[in-house]
């Protein structure tokens, strides 16, 4: 057993925010919580939060998952994002061939088998998307869900499998086939009407990929994908909070419209994260970092130069209480992925995945399974 004690900060737990706390850790999980007594880590007025869970991580540390879908790439990306408090993540494959999708699925299985820290599954973002809302995705790879794709995506896997698709390009029966097999379906890169979006949700889709971005907007006579997402109390919505992808005023409106437990922070992170903002290549095209945002030569958004600690800090700046911001970074994505029994909160029975943010909201310490790794 290991004892981790903390004092002089805000320790966010489901029972409320505490000033001091001692965690007894056994087999990487929190066995019990007690008052801190004796030697403790001084949080210096900062925050101790459950480790961040990011469902959309394309790259980091100079590596892009699409370029080399291997356990080594996953480890490099995970090590990079762990420095920013991410203790669980889904390596994300941007639209590609089915062969590359298969390679990504196998690589994640292999990474989990090898015990690569923080990797808990995979996010296949496309190629089942709408070219009208393609963003930076390569539309040459786009295709509908057919029997071959469904067979590939529904095979048993070691971790969670999340798929982003456009509902208007894929029949509700195909969506149901995925969800009935345990695949987590999210809607994105879509020009769906309200009715098409509703049909997909009724077929089992339970997520919205980067709400507002690359989807049909909310218009008073045509609610579109955004209207369907904001109306439904059950779907989980990913938000990119870098103050460029979504205006702060729109974020506040969305947060006021939805239940507190259905919004999630995502980074949509690219190789520039943890790599000094250096440029990289995607689909053979150069991508540069422009004031914290990744763009191609035409100025098209190409993911983010964003980490979860910064996303959380940005969320606090728009007036979100720390407890809700923490849930958006940890508890809500855990529930979305169906791992809330083991992840996403500082409580008995949950993994001892922790992040210490200083009073300036910069990462001061990270623990995965009770072991300090940063």
Domains of the chain plus CATH, in order, are 2-47+359-372 (no CATH), 52-343 (3.20.20.140)
Check whether 213 is labelled as a binding-site residue.
Answer: yes
Residue 259: pLDDT band (50, 70, 90) is: confident
Check whether 239 is labelled as a binding-site residue.
Answer: no
pLDDT tens across 267-321, in order?
A: 999 999 999 999 999 989 999 998 888 999 999 999 999 999 999 999 999 999 9
Check whether 309 is labelled as a binding-site residue.
Answer: no
Distance from C-alpha of 101 to C-alpha of 96, rounded to nearest angstrom? 7
Contact criterion met (CB below 8 Å) for 120 and 334: no
Give me the pLDDT at residue 135, please.
Answer: 94
- Is the per-residue pLDDT at 260 higher than 90? no
**Smallest Cα–Cα separation from 188: which of 233, 137, 153?**
137
Check whether 94 is labelled as a binding-site residue.
Answer: no
Check whether 302 is labelled as a binding-site residue.
Answer: yes
- Is the per-residue pLDDT at 91 higher than 90? yes
pLDDT tens across 349-361, in order?
A: 999 999 999 999 9
Active-site residue identified among 96, 109, 138, 268: 268
pTM across the whole model: 0.97
- Is the per-residue pLDDT at 37 higher than 90? no
To the query of whether residue 296 is one of the catalytic residues in this protein, the response is: no
Residue 6: pLDDT band (50, 70, 90) is: very high
Element counts in the chain: helices (H) and strands (E): 10, 24
Check whether 125 is labelled as a binding-site residue.
Answer: yes
pLDDT over 90 for what percent of the chain? 95
| Alpha carbons within 13 A on the beta-carbon side of 151 | 5
Is the peptide bond preceding residue 327 cis, with omega within 30 degrees of 0?
no
């Amino acid at each position: 057993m290991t004892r981790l004690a903390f004092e002089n900060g805000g320790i966010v737990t489901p029972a409320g925010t505490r000033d001091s706390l001692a965690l007894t850790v056994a087999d990487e999980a929190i066995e019990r919580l007690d008052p801190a007594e004796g030697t403790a880590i001084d949080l210096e007025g900062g925050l101790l939060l459950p480790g961040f869970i990011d469902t959309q991580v394309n790259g980091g540390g100079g590596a892009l998952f699409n370029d080399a879908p291997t356990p080594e790439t996953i480890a490099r990306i995970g090590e990079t994002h762990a420095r920013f408090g991410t203790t669980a993540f889904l390596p994300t494959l941007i639209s590609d061939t089915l062969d590359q999708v298969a390679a990504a699925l196998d690589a994640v299985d292999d990474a989990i088998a090898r015990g690569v820290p923080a990797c808990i599954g995979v996010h296949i973002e496309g190629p089942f998307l709408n070219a009208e809302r393609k963003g930076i995705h390569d539309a040459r790879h786009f295709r509908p869900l057919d029997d071959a794709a469904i067979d590939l995506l529904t095979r048993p896997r070691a971790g969670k499998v999340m798929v982003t698709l456009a509902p208007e390009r894929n029949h509700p029966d195909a969506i149901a086939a995925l969800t009935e097999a345990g695949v987590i379906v999210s809607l994105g890169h879509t020009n769906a009407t309200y009715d098409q979006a509703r049909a997909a949700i009724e077929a089992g889709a339970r997520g919205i990929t980067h709400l507002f971005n690359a989807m049909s907007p909310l218009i008073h006579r045509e609610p579109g994908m955004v209207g369907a997402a904001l109306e439904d109390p059950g779907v989980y919505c990913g938000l990119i909070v870098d103050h460029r992808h979504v205006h702060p005023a729109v974020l506040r409106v969305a947060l006021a419209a939805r239940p507190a437990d259905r919004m999630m922070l995502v980074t949509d992170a690219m190789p520039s994260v943890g790599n000094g903002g250096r440029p990289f290549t995607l689909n053979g095209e150069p991508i540069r970092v422009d004031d914290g945002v990744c763009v191609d030569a035409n100025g098209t958004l190409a993911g983010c130069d964003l980490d979860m600690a910064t996303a959380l800090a940005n969320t606090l700046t728009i007036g979100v209480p720390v407890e809700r911001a923490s849930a958006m970074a940890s508890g809500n994505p855990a529930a979305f992925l169906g791992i809330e029994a083991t992840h996403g909160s500082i409580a008995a029975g949950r993994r001892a995945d922790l992040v210490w943010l200083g009073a300036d909201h910069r990462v001061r310490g990270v623990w995965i399974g009770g072991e300090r790794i940063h």
